[in-house]
Amino acid sequence: MERPSWAPQGIDLTVPSVSRIYDYYLGGSHNFEADREAARKAIGIMPGLPKIMQANRAFMRRAVRYAAGSGINQFLDIGSGIPTFGNVHEVAEEAVPGARVVYVDNDPVAVAHSRAVLEDRETAAIAAADLRKPKEILGSPEARRLLDFGKPVALLLVAVLHFMTEDDEPAKAVAELRDALAPGSLLILTHASTEGGPITAKQGDEVQDVYRSATSPLVMRSRAEVEVFFDGFEPVEPGLVSMADWRPDGEGEQEDPWGYTGFAGVGRKA
């Protein structure tokens, strides 16, 4: 298999990556045949997957604008993936000139492409780190340079926690990050679920089977299980809801039933 010039050496092009599968859903070009094959299988089971990802991105943009409107000008986006249109730094900068953004990802393609995109930016950077190791994120050179943890930070865990199994202790990782945040900080989160939306439990099981061959498994969680991640945060209205229902602004995802898949929410640290 021919390795594209943008693909870092040492990565296995035959193993699907969750960030590159996501890139494919969003119409990006930084993915390999193994990623496209896995994505096509998943879409065959759940035809609305690209719509779900678009609703996820639209929620993220609304939540970033909400954070900026609340006076927050620094953002920590973990599991940021491969940059596409409407990234956190673009939305934040438009709302708050000079906003500082640290992206975090463990996918070499996502990190390499993000570095290329952010090369000339002094207020945004990407750290190669993993949500399973919060201390490495908090102590990364990028976080130390750009973020002041003595002031409120918007922590984004958008479409990332469902790639952690219970053995990875996701709630412990979120709690470690929360404890490092100043009062007034926000947690911005989305999570896959078969509860409350158009996905059946059977479809959820079949899509999870597709992801078992990828770099990270997909773990659907119930509303109650997702709420645990907000321990220590006060819910921002309207609370934990479907992505399309969180402060819609007419971007269009409310018109599509797939936008009601999974859960989205914002919480404020007291």
Q: What is the pLDDT of residues 129-182, one digit of tens each?
A: 999 999 999 999 999 999 999 999 999 999 999 999 999 999 999 999 999 999
In a domain, 195, yes or no: yes
Question: Distance between the two ends of the chain, CA-based, in angstroms?
Answer: 52
Model confidence at 219, pLDDT cuts 50, 70, 90, reads very high
Q: Is the pLDDT of residue 91 over 80?
A: yes
Q: What is the mean pLDDT of residues 25-51?
A: 92
Grade residue 5 by pLDDT with cuts at 50, 70 and 90. Answer: low
Stretch 191-210: mean pLDDT: 92
Q: Which residues contact 16 (CB under 8 A, 6 or more apart)?
A: 34, 35, 37, 38, 39, 213, 214, 215
Residue 169 region by backbone torsions, left for phi larger than 0, else alpha for psi between -120 and 50, else beta: left
- Given a cut of 90, is residue 229 above it in pLDDT? yes
Which of 13 and 98 is assigned the larger pLDDT?
Answer: 98
Banded pLDDT at 195 (limits 50, 70, 90): very high
| Per-residue pLDDT at 252 | 54
Reading phi first (left if > 0) and then psi (alpha if -120 to 50, else beta), residue 134 is in alpha
- Name the least confident of 24-28, 132-136, 190-194: 24-28
User: Does 114 map to a domain?
Assistant: yes
pLDDT digits (tens, 9 = 90+) for 42-84: 999 999 998 999 899 999 999 999 999 999 999 999 999 888 7
CATH number at residue 207: 3.40.50.150
Q: What pLDDT score does 83 carry?
A: 81
pLDDT higher than 90, residue 225: yes
Confidence of residue 123 (pLDDT cuts 50, 70, 90): very high
Beta-ladder partners of 264: 190, 241
Give domain status of residue 11, yes or no: no
**Average pLDDT of span 101-107:** 95
**Is 111 a member of any domain?**
yes
Judge whether 6 lies within some domain: no
pLDDT at 224 over 80: yes
Tell me: pLDDT of 254 over 70.
no
The answer as to whether 155 is a domain residue is yes
Number of domains in the chain: 1
Percent of all residues in the chain with a pLDDT value above 90, rounded to a whole number: 74
- Identify whether 82 is part of a domain: yes
Structure tokens at 71: 């006076």
Point out the least confidently predicted range of 18-22, 78-82, 223-227, 248-252: 248-252
The answer to whether 6 and 112 are in contact (CB under 8 A) is: yes
12 located within any domain:
no
Domain assignment of residue 249, given as a range:
18-269
Mean pLDDT within 95-122: 92
- Supply the pLDDT for residue 251: 59
